[in-house]
C-alpha cells in the first residue's frame, strides 16, 4: 500500500510539472503554474521521505533531511525576495549551477557505492566484472554533464555580475574539443574495463569536466550569454534525468526530461535569434569576434529635449517601444507602462518590440514588462515588429543597443554580423534613451545613433520617462 501511495505521489508530481510548464507559457497563468509545479515537487519530496523503503527499511536521519530542507528553503526564499530584476539572470545561472552540482554529487556517491565492494575484495577483477555497465554509463553521463553545467554556470554567473571577464587563447576551441574527447574516451573505457587498478580515473574525469565547463564558457562574449544560459539549463535537466534513472525515481526522471527538453528547444530558438547553429554552440566556437577591420562610423549624433520628445510622441499615430537592459537597470518598467497608458489615452497606438535575446537571459524583457502588468498582446516578437516599423511614426529605444545595431546586417567584420535585429531604422523617427554613448554589452559602436532620423535622449531611463510622462500630461 505504501509503495502504491509513493507511486501515486510521483504520478501527481510528474503531472503537476507538465501542467505547470504549460501554464508558464502565458503571463496570465504563469504564477499559478509555478505554484502548481512547486506543489507537485513538495508532494514528491514528502512522499519519498515518509513512504520510500528498501527491503522493508525506511529512510532515517530525519534531522539531517529536514535540516537541509530548512536551510535550502530559507536561503532560496531570501534570495528570491531580495534579488533585483536586473540581477535575475545571475540568480538563474547560480541556481542552475547548483542543480548541475547536485546531479554530479549523486553520480559521485553512487559510484562510490558501486566500487566499494570491489575495493575490499581480494579478487578485484571478479568484483569489477559484477558491476553493471549500464549503471556505470548513467553515472558517468550524470557526472560529466552535471559537472560541466555547474562549472559553466558559475562562470556565466561571474560574467553576468561583472566579476569574470572574457578570456580566450589561440587554439582554445581545439583544446576544448580535445579535452572533451579525452573525458568521453576515458569514461567509455572505464564503463567496460573498470577495476581496482583504474577506478581512480573517475576523479580525473570529474576534474577534467570542471576544467572543460570553465573553458567552454570563459571565451564567450556577453552578447551570446542568453544562448549559454539556455544551453546550460538543458544540461542540468539531462543530468537530473540521469539521477532519476539511477534511483528509478519517476518524478525525478520526468522533471529532468522536461527541463532538458525545454532548455534544448529554447537553445534552438536562441541560436536562431543569434543566427548560429546548434552544432556551433556545442563545439564552443561561438562568441568570437569576426576577423577583419570593422567599418568606421562617421557623422555626429544629435540630442532631443524632453519637450520635443513629448510632442513628437503625443502627436504620433503609432509608437513602438524597444526595451533593453537599460530599462531593467533603472527599474523603469512601471513608469514605461504609465507612458504607454498615457499615450493610448491620447489615441496613440503603442506596442512593444521584443528581441529574443534582449537583456541578459531568454525572456528577460517579457518577465520585466509582465511585472508592470503590460498587456501581453502588446508585446510583438521580432518578426512581427519588423513588419510594423515601416508604418511606425516614433520608435522609443530604452536601453537597448546590440539588438538594434545595423552593423549586424552591414558589417561582416562585426562580432554580431548575421544576427537578426529589430529594424528600427525603418521608422520615421527614432529616439534612443541611454545614459551615455558608451558601447553596449557586445562592446561595439552603434551606427544607428549617428543616423539623421535618430535623436539621443540621455539619462537614466526611469528619470527620463518620469519627465516625459509629466511633459506629455502638460500638452
Catalytic residue list:
402
Cell of 44: 514528491
Q: CA 174 to CA 152: how far, in whole Å?
A: 18
Dihedral angle sign, alpha carbons of residues 21, 22, 23, 26: positive
452 class by beta-carbon count within 10 Å (0-12 exposed, 13-18 middle, 19+ buried): exposed
In contact, 43 and 12? CB cutoff 8 Å:
yes
Q: CA 130 to CA 141: how far, in whole Å?
A: 20
95 class by beta-carbon count within 10 Å (0-12 exposed, 13-18 middle, 19+ buried): middle
Q: How many CB atoms lie within 10 A of CB 320?
A: 25
DSSP 303: B
CB-facing half-sphere around the CA of 217: CA atoms within 13 A: 30
In contact, 433 and 398? CB cutoff 8 Å:
yes
What are the angstrom distances between the C-alpha of 273 and each of 194, 396, 410, 427? 44, 22, 17, 22
Q: How many CB atoms lie within 10 A of CB 5?
A: 12
* Sheet bearing 318-323, strands edge to edge: 379-381, 349-354, 318-323, 394-398, 429-434, 454-458
Q: CA 125 to CA 409: how far, in whole Å?
A: 62
The residue with cell 557586445 is 442
What are the angstrom distances between the C-alpha of 172 and each of 193, 204, 289, 290? 31, 20, 14, 16
DSSP 382: H
Q: How many CB atoms lie within 10 A of CB 143?
A: 27
- Reduced to 3 states, what is the DSSP secondary structure of residue 256? helix
| Contacting residues for 434 by C-beta, under 8 A, at least 6 apart | 326, 399, 401, 456, 457, 458
Cell of 228: 549559454
Cell of 7: 507511486
DSSP 456: E
Amino acid at each position: 500500500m505504501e509503495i502504491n501511495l509513493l507511486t501515486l505521489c510521483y504520478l501527481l508530481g510528474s503531472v503537476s510539472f507538465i501542467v505547470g510548464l504549460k501554464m508558464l507559457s502565458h503571463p496570465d497563468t504563469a504564477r499559478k503554474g509555478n505554484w502548481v509545479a512547486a506543489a507537485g515537487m513538495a508532494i514528491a519530496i514528502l512522499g519519498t521521505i515518509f513512504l520510500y523503503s528498501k527491503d522493508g527499511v525506511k529512510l532515517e536521519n530525519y534531522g539531517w533531511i529536514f535540516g537541509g530542507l530548512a536551510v535550502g528553503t530559507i536561503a532560496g526564499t531570501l534570495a528570491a525576495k531580495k534579488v533585483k530584476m536586473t540581477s535575475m539572470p545571475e540568480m538563474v545561472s547560480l541556481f542552475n549551477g547548483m542543480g548541475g552540482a547536485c546531479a554530479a554529487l549523486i553520480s559521485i556517491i553512487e559510484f562510490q557505492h558501486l566500487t566499494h565492494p570491489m575495493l575490499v575484495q581480494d579478487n578485484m577483477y571478479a568484483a569489477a566484472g559484477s558491476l553493471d555497465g549500464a549503471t556505470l554509463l548513467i553515472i558517468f553521463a550524470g557526472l560529466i554533464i552535471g559537472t560541466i553545467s555547474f562549472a559553466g554556470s558559475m562562470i556565466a554567473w561571474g560574467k553576468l555580475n561583472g566579476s569574470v571577464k572574457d578570456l580566450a587563447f589561440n587554439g582554445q576551441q581545439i583544446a576544448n574539443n580535445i579535452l572533451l574527447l579525452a573525458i568521453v574516451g576515458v569514461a567509455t573505457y572505464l564503463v567496460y574495463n573498470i577495476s581496482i587498478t583504474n577506478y581512480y580515473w573517475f576523479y580525473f574525469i570529474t576534474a577534467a569536466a570542471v576544467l572543460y565547463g570553465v573553458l567552454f564558457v570563459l571565451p564567450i562574449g556577453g552578447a551570446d550569454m542568453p544562448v549559454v544560459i539556455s544551453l546550460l539549463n538543458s544540461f542540468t535537466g539531462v543530468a537530473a534525468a540521469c539521477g532519476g534513472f539511477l534511483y528509478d525515481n519517476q518524478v525525478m526522471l520526468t522533471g529532468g526530461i522536461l527541463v532538458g527538453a525545454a532548455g534544448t528547444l529554447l537553445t534552438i530558438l536562441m541560436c536562431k535569434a543569434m543566427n548560429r547553429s546548434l552544432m556551433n554552440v556545442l563545439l564552443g566556437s561561438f562568441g568570437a569576434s569576426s576577423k577583419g577591420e570593422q567599418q568606421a562610423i562617421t557623422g555626429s549624433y544629435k540630442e532631443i529635449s524632453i519637450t520635443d520628445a513629448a510632442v513628437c510622441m503625443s502627436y504620433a499615430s503609432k509608437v513602438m517601444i524597444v526595451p533593453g537592459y537599460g530599462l531593467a537597470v533603472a527599474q523603469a518598467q512601471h513608469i514605461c507602462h504609465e507612458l504607454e497608458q498615457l499615450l493610448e489615452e491620447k489615441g496613440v497606438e503603442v506596442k512593444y518590440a521584443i528581441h529574443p535575446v534582449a537583456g541578459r537571459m531568454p525572456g528577460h524583457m517579457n518577465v520585466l514588462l509582465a511585472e508592470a502588468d503590460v498587456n501581453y498582446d502588446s508585446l510583438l516578437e521580432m518578426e512581427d515588429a519588423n513588419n510594423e516599423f515601416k508604418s511606425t511614426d516614433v520608435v522609443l529605444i530604452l536601453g537597448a543597443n546590440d539588438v538594434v545595431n545595423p552593423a549586424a546586417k552591414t558589417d561582416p567584420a562585426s562580432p554580431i554580423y548575421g544576427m537578426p535585429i529589430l529594424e528600427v531604422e525603418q521608422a520615421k523617427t527614432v529616439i534612443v534613451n541611454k545614459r551615455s554613448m558608451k558601447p553596449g554589452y557586445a562592446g561595439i559602436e552603434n551606427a544607428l545613433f549617428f543616423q539623421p532620423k535618430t535623436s539621443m535622449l540621455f539619462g537614466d531611463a526611469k528619470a527620463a520617462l518620469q519627465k516625459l510622462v509629466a511633459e506629455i500630461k502638460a500638452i
